[in-house]
Amino acid sequence: MKEKFVSLVKSRGATGELFEIKTKHRSVNFENNHFKGIDEGEISGFAVRVKKDGKMGFSYAMGDARLEDVVNSAFEVLRFSKDYMFEFSSEKEIPEVKCYDPEIEKESREDAMDLGEELVEYVRSLKEEMKVNFSQSSDIIEESIITTNGFDRSFKKTVKTISLGGFYTEENNFLEIYAEQSRSLNNLFDIETLKEKFKTDILASKNNVSVKSGAYPVIFTPFAVSDLMLPLLVAINGKNVISGVSLLKGKLTKEVLSHNFTLIDNPLLSGGAFSFPFDDEGTSAARKELISKGQLLNYLADRDVSSRLGIRGGNAQRSITSVPVPSSSNLLIQPGDVSVSDMLSVERAILVESLMGVSMGNISGGFVTGNVELGYLVERGKILGRVKNAMINLNIFDKLKDIALSKENIWVSKFISPYIYVPDVSVSSK
């Protein structure tokens, strides 16, 4: 297919890119304490981009299709394109990354079912009334990219995700707990961390407490950090910078967050579910400091954003049916120098495990607004009970300029993060 693609594109005086992907998927699922079933399938397809006279054409096909037809379709839409300045990849040096594990590919359905039964029974041993959901999914991904500029590389990747959820309902009370781990290497899973989270949350939720509206110190656990970071991920996306949506436009090298906050995008992380040797445009993977000691150093960029802003790309992600866009890989927040126990020893604080509805708020304006789905009132190191009917509201570019970070961190899924202490957060209560 390589030679044919190059010939088809070059014969029309254009340059081009051929993106191919094949994914084998399996998930073993339990619902409401019982085995539900196994989903298995395979998806394959390819996408073509062609560029001529600064214009871009895109087309794709799922499954088997004639390459000529897809290339022709890409040329047909080319004339409606906006102008593009970037060129397709011609890179030669690609790093080695550990993101494939044959053990995940060989793992049996029975092994996943056994783990599901074990975790369901464990959670119910903590609280018999819990309805437990479990899912273990495995994806075997084969990706290749060919360009008329000489790029011709492929890689194979495994992604395994273990999700555990539980809920129960009683009079005037609903509790839901959820935890997930996602890795590309089997030996990096830590089932004991999942168990410990459920044990801690169930014990801490025995009592419900109310809080008065006002300002509180709030401690975001690593399980809640993905909600807290949503506005930041919007702001450091280079496409939003170009469109003018980002609050961080024009702020490279400026201090935008606390001096002790460092955020790193690392696709080279061994075993990361979001690791890769090259991104979905063939740009070599590289560790990128986005924010260093509060100072904005970089944006997430694909090749288009890279050419327009004059920064490094390497963050392109896509599906078969879409063109590449900037997106983060594995995200590491550097730990601080305060222990979690010291954080919790303050006179009064709210410990947040999860929020609900944050994505529906004004995240492009920097706001994290959401109901405390699971959180606890803490006084001098003691958890008094679960906070009910409370909502938090903060602008991260205001409130995250004075924070503390724990020494301890937890690898949840995309994030490896410490606990984050924010001293002054608006909390409203019904």
Mean pLDDT, each 10-residue run in order, the chain (430 residues): 92 97 97 97 96 96 91 94 93 96 96 97 95 98 98 98 93 86 96 94 91 96 96 97 96 96 98 98 98 98 96 96 97 97 95 93 94 95 93 96 96 96 94
**Count: domains in the chain:** 2
Burial class (CB within 10 angstroms; exposed 0-12, middle 13-18, buried 19+) of 83: exposed
**What's the distance, Cα to Cα, between the start and end of the chain in Å?**
62
Strand segments, DSSP code E, in 222-266 are 263-265
pLDDT at site 166? 95
CA 115-119-124 angle, to 5 degrees, is 150
**Tokens at 199, concatenated:** 């044990």
Strand segments, DSSP code E, in 287-414 are 288-292, 295-296, 316-317, 325-326, 331-333, 349-356, 367-379, 382-387, 390-395, 404-411
pLDDT at site 63? 83
pLDDT at site 223? 95
- My answer on whether 279 and 293 are in the same domain is yes
- My answer on whether 80 and 185 are in the same domain is yes
How far, CA to CA in Å, does 203 sit from each of 82, 175, 340? 57, 12, 18
pLDDT at site 171? 72
pLDDT at site 65? 85
Q: How many residues does the chain have?
A: 430
- My answer on whether 325 and 412 are in the same domain is yes
The alpha carbons of the chain give a radius of gyration, in whole angstroms, of 24
User: Tokens 């005037």 correspond to what residue?
Assistant: 172
Angle between helical axes of 109-126 and 191-204 (0-180°, round to 10): 20
- Per the CB < 8 A criterion, the answer to whether 296 and 251 are in contact is yes
- My answer on whether 232 and 116 are in the same domain is no
> Which residues, 6+ apart, have CB-to-CB distance to 134 below 8 Å?
29, 30, 115, 116, 119, 120, 162, 163, 164, 165
Domain boundary at 168, 201, 234, which?
201
Strand segments, DSSP code E, in 223-319 are 263-265, 288-292, 295-296, 316-317
Report which secondary-structure segment, H or E, holds 198: helix 191-204
- My answer on whether 78 and 14 are in the same domain is yes
- My answer on whether 13 and 152 are in the same domain is yes
pLDDT at site 173? 79
Domain CATH number, residue 69 = 3.30.2290.10
pLDDT at site 20? 97
- My answer on whether 279 and 396 are in the same domain is yes
pLDDT at site 170? 77
- Per the CB < 8 A criterion, the answer to whether 86 and 303 are in contact is yes
Q: Which residues pair with 47 in a beta bridge?
A: 19, 60
Helices (H) and strands (E) in the chain, counts: 11, 20
- My answer on whether 306 and 422 are in the same domain is yes
Closest CA to 134 of 157, 112, 110: 112
Burial class (CB within 10 angstroms; exposed 0-12, middle 13-18, buried 19+) of 218: buried
User: Amino acid letter at 80?
Assistant: F
**Tokens at 149, concatenated:** 């500029």
- My answer on whether 216 and 360 are in the same domain is yes
- My answer on whether 261 and 401 are in the same domain is yes
> Which residues, 6+ apart, have CB-to-CB distance to 6 below 8 Å?
16, 146, 148
Domain boundary at 153, 169, 201, which?
201
- Per the CB < 8 A criterion, the answer to whether 319 and 347 are in contact is no
Q: What stretches of 236-339 show up as alpha helix (H) in DSSP?
A: 238-243, 303-309
> Which residues, 6+ apart, have CB-to-CB distance to 129 below 8 Å?
168, 170
SS3 244: coil
Domain boundary at 201, 221, 241, which?
201
- My answer on whether 193 and 319 are in the same domain is no
Domain that holds residue 106: 2-201
- Per the CB < 8 A criterion, the answer to whether 116 and 133 are in contact is no
pLDDT at site 33? 97
- My answer on whether 95 and 231 are in the same domain is no
